[in-house]
Chain A
Amino acid sequence: MKKVRKIIAAIVTLAIVAISFAACGNTNTDSGSSEGESKAAASEAVNTSESSIASDNVKSEEPYEVVMTYVTIGYEPQDLPLVEQALSEYALEKINCTVKFKPVAISDLASQYNLWASSGEKVDLLMMFSMDIGSYLNEGKIISLEEYIDFMPAAKALDADTYLFQGGMYNNELYAIPVGGTALGHGASLYARTDLMENVEFEEKDIYSYEELDAIFAQVKEKYPELITIATAGVLTNTLTSNYIGFDDLGVSGGWAGVLMNPTKGDKTVVNLYESEEYYEFLSWRQKWNQAGYISQDAATTSDTANDWVKSGRCAGFLTAADTPGNKENVEGQCGYDMTQFNIKGTCVTTGSYNYLRWCVSTTSERPDKALEFLDLFYDGEEAINLIMNGIEGVHYVKNEGSMIISYPEGIDGTNTLFSNPLGIYGDKMNLYMFEPNEDSFYERSREYTEKALTITSSALGYSFVSDSYQNEIAAITSVMNRYLSSLEYGTVTDLEGTYQEFISALDAAGMNKLVEANQAQFDAWMAAQDN
């Protein structure tokens, strides 16, 4: 009996502990209500100072400190504090704000955001890299930006030209501000080493078909048997067909809730991508290429990047990357070889064009209006965006009059510079200076590319699937994808037909077709609303 009493005593103590934290919980809601108060202050600001949005702000207010996530690739550049200070000074002058960076490694974004939201830690601007707005909204981590749009005049102007805000819409409300890429649309290309291509015969084409690529690969393999032909590496969590097939994923990356196969031709039927003929065709080619030795057996297991493979001479190329201007130079810079570009998918503007890189405002922000004003600085002119991307002029880079191309100062290069920011995730990148060997023509080409892309828009631009109530299905689908994608799409699978059947029935069991139906219903409703 003593034993039982002791155990009961333990449980009672625990219960007391748990209940006593109801008090802490109340503190949480208290801070919730004080947030409400400052939000009220913010909306007052919206109502009363429409005219004073410009930089002649009243200086009698205390400057507000905007806390912004600074995304790193694992370590921070040494001169980050200098840049933070310079940016603060600039912001103080323009909008009476200072900035504080919150460094986060790109692989930790999700877990950090979770902790901050749950403990009420103050942060204003969150970088959402390829994250699902629906689930963040569900868990109360981000807020709607509808009432604050007027605080972002520069971004609004960009939106008028390029549909920028469409990429941040969810359930017909604006939740995120996408990064303004230099060129819109997301066509894709394969980039191969020019020095090797000189010995290969091929025709110049706008878009290369699987057969044409096959012929090219065969030649490359024959001439250079010791090289892996196609550079592709890493565990696949999402399908590669987004680079080969021109579908619109309706806001769900990978098309897990169904896609429009021909979005630019007035297609209005949502179908399951993975059950389509086009998808199976892709898989068959990949298996063929794997068996012919064009794709490495280590593709899924290597810890190197595909760029590393090309750079080290292990691979002939055929790296997949966007076909936008400047990308070729990027790839060349990363691999150290000149590249020839083979386009495999044409450009088209969909909601997904902006999906990957977006900025949201956290629920723990005290002044969302100020936060967005600050974010707008990156869209407005050249100062802010170049500060955060390239550092301080004269110290980290040298610029010439009349050119957008910059170079390193004396004695400094890519390996010993004290500030470098490899992640281009801010503002309007048309205002961004670029290092050599890029050229000024890049900007002109980008403009042309964008103009062309804007004529090819999807019928679903602005629509994205609301996935709130389907969290279990998405979790199940993620598991199925993790299990099958790499072996199917790298072509390492031995029995393609059999494994493929397993794959699509697993997807069905996970609920994909259910999502497709739901998506069609939502899409039809959205279209009906558009017509009114």
Chain B
Amino acid sequence: MRKKTSKRLRKSDAGMQIIAHSVLAFLTFAAVIPFILLVIASFTDEDLAVRYGFSFFPEKLSLSAYQYLAGEWGQIGHAYMMTILVTIIGTALCLVVTTLLAYGLTRDIIGKRFLNFYVVFTMLFNGGLVSSYYVWTRIFYIKNTIWALILPGMLISAFHVILIKNYFINSIPESLLESAKIDGAGEMRIFLNIIVPLSKPIIATVGLMSAINYWNNWTNGLYYVDDNSLYTIQLILNQINQSASFLASNSTQMSNMMSGTASIPTTTMRMAIAVVAILPIIIAYPFFQRYFVKGITLGAVKG
């Protein structure tokens, strides 16, 4: 049958390939170039960077930014480990709870519409930081525990629930579930043996989004933790950056206050910290990718 595919179709195929590759290549280029600049900036000599700004071809390279990091490795290395741990645990928990919730919302149960509204409403109204802080620290006492980095505001997002729920509704035929029920399967069995395996793309998507959220989050660490063994890498980067710009805009008062030769981390150091903070996600990303598999045949069900 294949050989009979007309020339017209093959041309249209080829045309699509050209368009696809050119657009994607351009976007890739646009995405990578600034990143390369970032990396080069972290290796640029500090004085040069201040005088001439960042450049793709700096005259002088220097490892001092990374040396500084290596010197602070105690704190930074630990923060790294913390961030990785929190991301893994958080993402795993998130996926479990979110998919269960999403599945439940597709079932025909009493109070279905109410429960859907219950979930969606959380996206629309927020009590604010002050009351969230109060609830988490005074009612649940999570301050300075690892749960402070995992629970507040991060574990379930109504957005994710809705995405997964819609995927279940649109991409998994009801007939599949009916035949399983006829075979006597309970809800949990159906969930584990049918729903989850067929939903790999969306689970991988939400998993990725959740992992990125956890990795990039620094506000939980800022508000709920003051024990430095629980600091995450984004928290440190952010605090250094914000303190540096704060000091820069208050410089006259600063000069009265600052003493000694202590200096604020320079721009190149901040770039180095940024590179170090992004690297693991880039490395871990391909791991998620293999779940975006194509063409799961649902041919098992006919009619």
A interface residues (Cβ-Cβ under 8 A, vs B) = 2-3, 6-7, 9-10, 13, 24, 27, 72-76, 78, 102-108, 111-112, 114-115, 118-121, 130, 181, 186, 188, 233-237, 240, 242-243, 303-309, 311-314, 319-322, 324, 327, 330-331, 333-334, 356-357, 389, 414-416, 420-425, 432, 434-435
Contacts and interface: CB of A to CB of B under 8 A. Distances in A.
B255 A330 contact: yes
Contacts of B51: 312-314
Nearest to A80: B228
Contacts of B50: 304, 308-309, 311-312, 314
A201 to B, nearest CB: 27
A106 B246 contact: yes
B242 interface: yes
A115 B223 contact: yes
Contacts, number: 177
B159 interface: no
B186 interface: no
Interface in B98-152: 113-114, 117-118, 121, 129-130, 133-134, 137-139
Contact of B129 (A115, A327, A432): A115
B245 interface: yes
Contacts of B241: 74
B134 A331 contact: no
Interface in B27-64: 46-51
B185 to A, nearest CB: 30
Nearest to B128: A118
Interface in B241-289: 241-253, 255-267
Contacts of A435: 260-261
B240 A434 contact: no
Q: What are the nearest 4 A-B pairs in CB distance?
A: A422-B262, A74-B240, A312-B47, A312-B50
A107 B243 contact: yes
Contacts of A235: 249
B239 A303 contact: no
Given A111-B223, A309-B50, A330-B259, 12 more contacts: A73-B243, A75-B72, A75-B240, A107-B245, A118-B133, A234-B251, A305-B248, A313-B47, A321-B255, A422-B259, A422-B262, A422-B263
B158 interface: no
B249 A234 contact: yes
B93 interface: no
10 contacts: A6-B113, A6-B114, A10-B117, A115-B133, A115-B223, A119-B138, A234-B251, A312-B50, A320-B255, A327-B255
A121 B137 contact: yes
A186 B75 CA distance: 38
Nearest to A324: B256
In this complex, the member of B239, B242, B256 whose beta carbon has the largest number of chain A beta carbons within 10 angstroms is B256
A424 B75 CA distance: 24
B236 interface: yes
A74 B265 contact: yes
A118 B251 CA distance: 31
B184 interface: no
Contacts of B46: 312
Interface in B216-254: 222-223, 226, 228, 236, 239-253
B295 interface: no
A420 B262 contact: yes
Interface string B3-46: 00000000000000000000000000000000000000000001
Contacts of A319: 255
B259 A389 contact: yes
Contacts of B253: 130, 356
B249 A24 contact: no
B74 interface: yes
B264 A73 contact: yes
Contacts of A330: 255, 258-259
Given A78-B74, A119-B137, A357 B257 contact: yes
B303 interface: no
Nearest to B49: A312
Nearest to A116: B133
A233 to B, nearest CB: 6
